[in-house]
Structure 1
Amino acid sequence: MNLSTVTSPVVQELSVSLCDSCVDLLRHNDEGIITRATGVLSTVLPQSSQAVQHVIQREMVKTMCRLLKVGAGQTATKYAIKTLTVCTAASHLAREKLVNSDKKLSIIRLLLSSSCDEMVSGNAALCLAHCLDLEGVASDLLGTDIVLLLLQHAAGDAKRTAVQQNAAIALGKLCRCEPRHMSKLRELHGLEILHSCVKLIS
């Protein structure tokens, strides 16, 4: 795991086979092994677009969603949402797979509402923003608590400004893709908060 965090030509060259092995380890019964395998994936995948495409074909999105659903522990959750965010950033297919398995993105909303880890909530907001690029996703989120959740993070006092930035970007994209979310935003006095986040986005 420590070696995989270092960007190097060797890691990039071996990224596909390394990620392949990690995907196989995700079937293991030992939670520690699953956590470490997910951790390696979360650090290697950002270094290789080829590895990203490979693990998506191996149903990585479905596997990460399963891990997040069962609540595999704080460390595993942090690695899993980062892995999912890397995949949805790089691949339209990954976004489709995530949305098709979870129409209202309940896993993402759960992470936004329950996680105290800023890395988890920041990546969850970013992953949501990626999925909003798909047609109909913003409309499917009507009637959920998504506006409130994103607003809480955008207006929060997170130590990592990336959390506020990602939440503000996702909120802006949500309202742009589906203007009906604006009524909820106005109801929560969120326009003023969103305007105050413009400096973070620009």
Structure 2
Amino acid sequence: MSIALGVNVAILHQGRLLLTRREDFEVWCLPGGAVDPNESIAQAAVREVWEETGLEVVLTRLVGLYSRPAWHDGHHNALFVARPIGGELRLCPGETIELAYFHPAQLPGDLLPWHRRQIADALAGYGGSVVVTEAGEWPFDPALSRQEIYALRDRSGLSRRAFLARHLERTAEIPPQVDVPGVVLPDGLLPEQE
């Protein structure tokens, strides 16, 4: 059984929201699509926007995760807010037949119904998360069960915190890696880059 993982992006520019008209059903929707193998959800979001609209964007906020488990084998979608930083609007043959910016109070009637909720959440400012892939490996032997790790902890003579700290030492020096250049991070999350 497979689980579908996708992304949508609410691109905001000068108080307006970019929507695409899908070729398959000729309805309006947020740009987005499936996460490819070996791709993070942030990378998928930026790639899908580029493919469907011709725009380069910077992700500014993760709004939330939306699940539709009754769909086929299940569908889970991450919604980001982004702003354009380059590129030019262009159609994607086979996917998009129209692109337009809309004022939030004047969204088209033939908008995918589940995207209405996502758009409302994005415009309401929900989220505020950043997109970060933390580097490093699992600090314990992957063959050990949780119970075996706890048994090692209890036999170590260390406090629980010290036991974990000892195992994290080899990965603690690795800073988080931002998935996409330009992702906005709260002050102090990463050291200043020179």
Q: TM-score range by the shorter chain?
A: under 0.3
Q: Give the TM-score, by structure 2 length.
A: 0.23
Greater percentage in helix: 1
Relative contact order higher in (CA < 8 Å, ≥ 6 apart): 2
Greater percentage in strand: 2
